[in-house]
Amino acid sequence: MHPTLLVLVAALLAGPWAAYTVTRDGMLAQLDQDAQAAAESRALTLDSILDRQRAVATVLAVDQQVIQLLQQGGPDRDFAVSAKMDLLRAETQSDVIYLLDRRGVSVAASNWDLPSSFIGHDYGFRQYFRQAAAQGTGQEYALGTVSGRPGLYLAHDIRDGTTLLGVVVVKVEFDPLEAAWARDTGATHVVDGQDRVIISGQPALRFGALPDVRGMVQARASVRGTDWTLLVRRPLAEAQRVASLAAGTAVLAVLLAGVVVAVIMARLRRAARRARAEAAYRADLERAVEARTRDLSEEMRERRAAEQRLVQMQSDLVQANKLATLGQVSAGFAHEVNQPLATIRLLAENGRAMLDRDPAPVAANLDRIIGMTDRIGQITSELRNFSRKATGAVGRVALADAIQASLMLTASRRRTSAMDFALPDLPPDLAVRAEAVRLEQILVNLLTNAHDAQEGRSDPRIAIAVQADDARVTLTIRDNGPGLSSAMAAQLFTPFATDKPQGLGLGLVISRDIARDFGGELDALPPEPGQGAAFRLTLPRAA
């Protein structure tokens, strides 16, 4: 016999049996869990009902109206206590609440106004009365002598010191609970210590023995404060039905699997033939992939090298822009330096002539010479700092220092054009997150553009304004020039776009890139009537 056929026969024999056994065991385990959960839940519900009714008896046992009725009697008190019991019965959903004197005769009851009133009946023979009189509390499940209805009687003694005055009794019937259990699948019973059914979803079983448990799964839970046991039973028929269905399904599955296996075997044979043909194709494909991978790796190396060159070109472009700006202000620096040098020479010649006549003014001339050399040193220091390459490290930069350095680099142009300049008072601790050299480059670019825009005007003016909040610092530079044309405004930050014959068209582009490197922004404000161009630089505020 073919091995595949042997496997199929073995599966037909073992599969259904295994499916039946596993499914049945799983269903039985699930039934056990469900029954136990239901038993514990229903026992807790019954505990809650009994605790509530015991509390009613406890509260009435210390009620002053109840005690006075037992001590002093009187029809008015009978009525008041009965009315109170009727109200409490409605609120707590008990069946009847009544009061017995020390002899066991009912003197007040919640059903005082019904034909079946308990008032006047003698219950001294009842077990619950004798238990409460002797032990303080008592309980008994029994048929009512007046109503003929079964229920649980919960009793609590009422005493004046050690003297028994009477007993308060709360009767609880379980009809709603039994009705809910009757709607459930299976059966629910409560049995007492003698295994006598006292509460059941099948009322006909009350006060009788438990029915046979065969064909059922049973779970049990104790009822607190009693000798009762709550039983929940679930029929096994559903588990057996599902297990049989699983076995039938397994038979069909094995047969279907046999068909599938036969089809698969045929396809495997065809696939083996195709596999041999495809193996050669895959080998060729792998060789092609390896070659393409080598090509891609080479392209990636070339791209990384190009990116490195681009970064270097951008750095060189920033430096070139800085040097171009430096070239624009160099003529002013020559004037700034030549004027102190001429003054130094004149003072030195005067000092030498005065040495022979009156040496006293020589000291004043020397002090002026020292001041002039300090000014030349300051100018050359700012020029040297501006011309060096930026480190790229972003940190805390005092805004006032950066503005003052930029103003010194452009000071000569303001003096030659008699420019009106407005600068706000800045607190020394106002700082931004930037890099000093590159921040000065932005400011020098903006100030140089503002100077160029007002070339030849009779009333040149530059105004710097600063606004700051907890997170950002905004610096605005506004000139008094003709403003930006619509064509120029549209391509303001486009590389090589400029309206200056000597300009490169890179200053604003580079300045905006530097501002964005700092986490800020540079943009042009919308033009206002009668105003020139205005640029806004926004930077993160440093703590």
Q: Which ranges in 463-529 belong to alpha helices (H)?
A: 486-490, 507-517
CA separation for the pair 460, 419 (Å, rounded): 5
**pLDDT confidence of residue 376:** 59
Look at residues 118, 159, 166, 169 and name the one whose alpha carbon lies nearest to residue 139.
169
CA separation for the pair 33, 219 (Å, rounded): 9
Which of 275 and 466 is assigned the larger pLDDT?
466
**pLDDT confidence of residue 190:** 93
CB neighbour list of residue 336: distance below 8 Å, 6 or more residues apart: 379, 411, 412
Question: Using one digit for the tens of pLDDT, what is the confidence trace for 24-80?
Answer: 688 788 888 888 998 899 899 999 999 998 999 999 988 898 998 888 877 777 888
| Domain 62-173: homologous superfamily in CATH | PAS domain (3.30.450.20)
419 touches 451 (CB < 8 A)? yes
DSSP 100-113: EETTSBEEEETTTT
Q: Do domains 3-53+176-235 and 62-173 have the same CATH topology?
A: yes
CA separation for the pair 345, 504 (Å, rounded): 39
DSSP 541: B
pLDDT of 536 higher than 70: yes
Q: What percent of the chain has pLDDT over 90?
A: 28
**pLDDT confidence of residue 229:** 94
Q: Which ranges in 388-506 belong to alpha helices (H)?
A: 399-409, 411-416, 436-453, 486-490
**Domain ranges across the chain:** 3-53+176-235, 62-173, 392-540
Give the right CATH number for 3-53+176-235 from 3.40.50.300, 3.40.350.10, 3.30.450.20, 3.40.50.1100.
Answer: 3.30.450.20
CA separation for the pair 237, 185 (Å, rounded): 12
CA separation for the pair 225, 227 (Å, rounded): 7
pLDDT of 324 higher than 70: no
411 touches 336 (CB < 8 A)? yes
Question: Using one digit for the tens of pLDDT, what is the confidence trace for 222-252?
Answer: 999 888 999 999 988 766 676 576 566 766 7
The average pLDDT across 392-413 equals: 86
Helix (H) or strand (E) holding 166: strand 163-172
CA separation for the pair 254, 9 (Å, rounded): 9
CA 134-138-144 angle, to 5 degrees, is 120
CA separation for the pair 382, 406 (Å, rounded): 9
Question: Using one digit for the tens of pLDDT, what is the confidence trace for 85-144?
Answer: 999 988 988 999 999 999 999 999 999 889 888 898 999 999 999 999 999 999 999 888
φ/ψ region of 126 (left if φ > 0, alpha if ψ in -120 to 50, else beta) reads beta
CA separation for the pair 206, 474 (Å, rounded): 90
pLDDT grade for 331, boundaries at 50, 70 and 90: very low
pLDDT of 442 higher than 80: yes
Name the token pair of 91.
């609120």
Question: Using one digit for the tens of pLDDT, what is the confidence trace for 142-174?
Answer: 888 887 889 999 999 999 888 999 999 999 989
Strands 420-422 and 187-191: unpaired
Give the C-alpha distances (Å, rounded to integers) separating 34 from 24, 41, 186, 202: 15, 10, 11, 20
Task: Compute how many other C-beta atoms are within 10 angstroms of the C-beta atom of residue 130.
Answer: 16
CA separation for the pair 86, 104 (Å, rounded): 20
Question: Over the chain, what is the mean pLDDT?
Answer: 81
For domain 392-540, give the fold.
Heat Shock Protein 90 (3.30.565)
For CA atoms 250, 254, 255, 257, the dihedral sign is positive
CB neighbour list of residue 64: distance below 8 Å, 6 or more residues apart: none
Name the token pair of 366.
């020397």
533 touches 479 (CB < 8 A)? yes
**pLDDT confidence of residue 509:** 86
The average pLDDT across 414-443 equals: 87
Which of 428 and 261 is assigned the larger pLDDT?
428
CA separation for the pair 190, 214 (Å, rounded): 18
